[in-house]
Amino acid sequence: MAEYAEPFYDVNLSYAENYECGPFGAFAGALAKSTPSTTETSVSGSAAAATAYDSSSSFLDLPVNLPFGIPAGPLLNSRFTTAAFRMGFDLAVYKTVRTRAWDCNPFPNVLSVHPRTGALTPGDAELDEGVLADSHFERPLSISNSFGVPSRDPDEWQPDMRDAIAAAGLGQLLIPSFQGSRHEGMTTSEYIADHVTAARLVRETGAQLMEMNTSCPNEGRNRLLCDDPRLVGEITQAVKNEIGDMPLIIKLAYLPSDEALERMVRETAAHGSVQAFATINTVSAKLVDRKGNQALPGEGRERSGVCGSAIRSAGLDMVRRLAGMRERLGLDFAIIGIGGVMSPADYQAYRTTGADAVMSATGAMWDCELAHRIKGELPRQ
Ligand SMILES: Cc1cc2nc3c(=O)[nH]c(=O)nc-3n(C[C@H](O)[C@H](O)[C@H](O)COP(=O)(O)O)c2cc1C
């Protein structure tokens, strides 16, 4: 990993160790500093970043300096989200929480992934044949993400989420992410009710908006909630009844069919239950070591989500198709473009394609200065 600065999430440690001891690298440095002044500017790099970069900019009618940040996942708790704000990421998504404590998949969770052509798009044969994964992290960086969406108990995450919200600077926004949890024998109404409870618990923290994750295998192994637009429609309606006017974002995986994507839009945004789509999550792939054996240890881990550079074209494709549908159907939902954003040029590509906001998980983890670099290349307002 020599050519990278130290990532803020240490892939050589367990999730629990990261939760207790992180963040690392420049994020740890930002956290150690005293609270930043809101009049400081942040574009130069190490200076505190909670500043008005472009005070005229907004996202979902909430003021945001630059609509760029870190999506659900790598920001495990308020120490991580606060460090992200101080490093100039004006949107910080608090890791997906649940209505109950939920274990993490066994270590390791992150491997370096090496697709043959550099890109992975759903439908590629390589995704089922096997993609090489090991611990040799190199550019262009793509990684496995095999955590199983762990969560602390609400008694622990609610106060911590309150702290995370309070630490946002001027023009910065903390976005909580949540999802429902399926268990054996649960009825559909109980499953919907679990989402509503999670949304209520999030609302109680004082959040201004929230994101519901439909794009992890929460429907059973390798099955995604977002593959069922009708059920997503029912759940978002019930959640919206709970949270009222507060904007609701849903996180989507890559949906290959335009028909399925349009059905999703019609079941949610067209009814007013959803105000924004965040997309994409990871692309599922069979991961193998150099000998062709399963790369991640343990049952049920033959496949894993891949994120980072390899999925950029898939992310851009989803944003392009969603933006086209928004125009054609005359709707006004917002789009958060995610997937393989590693550079200022990638940020611009997503904005040009129709994203109202852009986020980077893998890119930001290994490049704590990414927000500063993007701001450094944009004209100041
Ligand atoms: C370490 C890690 C953990 C993640 N956990 C979650 C999660 O809990 N909820 C979620 O919706 N997405 C999760 N994701 C997916 C990211 O939000 C994002 O959609 C995906 O990584 C693609 O972006 P990237 O190419 O910039 O990494 C996670 C990603 C990473 C790298």
pLDDT in tens, 200-221: 999 999 999 999 999 987 565 6
Q: What is the mean pLDDT of residues 13-34?
A: 96
Mutate to test the pocket of ligand 1, among 76, 281, 360 (most ligand atoms within 8 A of CB): 281
What is the pLDDT at residue 38? Answer: 44
371 within ligand 1 shell (Cβ under 6 A) = no
Whether ligand 1 lies within 6 angstroms of the CB of 73 is answered as: yes
Residue 183, pLDDT > 90, answer no
Q: From CA 166, how far away is CA 35, in angstroms rounded?
A: 12
Output Rg (C-alpha) for the chain, integer angstroms: 19
Per-residue pLDDT band at 381 (split at 50, 70, 90): low
Q: What is the mean pLDDT of residues 28-54?
A: 56
To the nearest whole number, what is the mean pLDDT of the chain? 92
Over 90: is that where the pLDDT of 230 sits?
A: yes
Query: Ligand 1 centre and the CA of 253: distance in Å?
Result: 11
Whether residue 133 has its Cβ less than 6 Å from ligand 1: no
Cα-to-centroid distance, 31 and ligand 1 (Å): 22
| Ligand 1 contacts CB of residue 71 (under 6 A) | yes
pLDDT digits (tens, 9 = 90+) for 305-349: 999 999 999 999 999 999 999 999 999 999 999 999 999 999 999
Please write the tens of the pLDDT for every residue from 59-71: 999 999 999 999 9
Ligand 1 atom with the shortest distance to the CA of 365: 31
> What's the whole-number mean pLDDT along residues 134-163?
96
Mutate which of 362, 365, 367, 370 for ligand 1? The one with the most ligand atoms within 8 Å of its CB, which is 362
Strands (E), 160-219: 173-178, 210-213
| Rounded distance between C-alpha atoms, residue 60 and residue 346, angstroms | 22
Q: Which residue has the higher pLDDT, 139 or 155?
A: 155
pLDDT of amino acid 220: 59
Least reliable range by pLDDT among 36-40, 84-88, 148-152: 36-40
- 6 has a pLDDT exceeding 80: yes
Ligand 1 neighbour 282 (Cβ under 6 A): yes
Ligand 1 atom closest to residue 338's alpha carbon, by position in its atom list: 23
pLDDT tens column, 95-120: 999 999 999 999 999 999 999 999 99
pLDDT at 4: 72
Q: What is the DSSP letter of 72?
A: S
Write the CB contacts of 285 (distance below 8 Å, at least 6 apart in sequence).
113, 120, 126, 127, 131, 303, 304, 305, 306
378 confidence band (pLDDT: 50, 70, 90): confident
- Looking at residue 24, what is its pLDDT? 98
Q: Which pLDDT band holds residue 46 (cuts at 50, 70, 90)?
A: very low
Look at residue 35 in the predicted model and tell me its pLDDT.
Answer: 67
DSSP readout, 171-234?
T-EEEEEE-----TT--HHHHHHHHHHHHHHHHTTT-S-EEEE-SSSBTBTT--GGG-HHHHHH
CATH of domain 15-106+150-283+312-377: 3.20.20.70
- How sure is the predictor about 291, in pLDDT bands with cuts at 50, 70 and 90? very high
Q: Please state the atom number of ligand 1 nearest to the C-alpha of residue 215.
A: 11
The CA 174 to ligand 1 mean position distance, Å, reads 16
Structure confidence at residue 226 (pLDDT) = 95
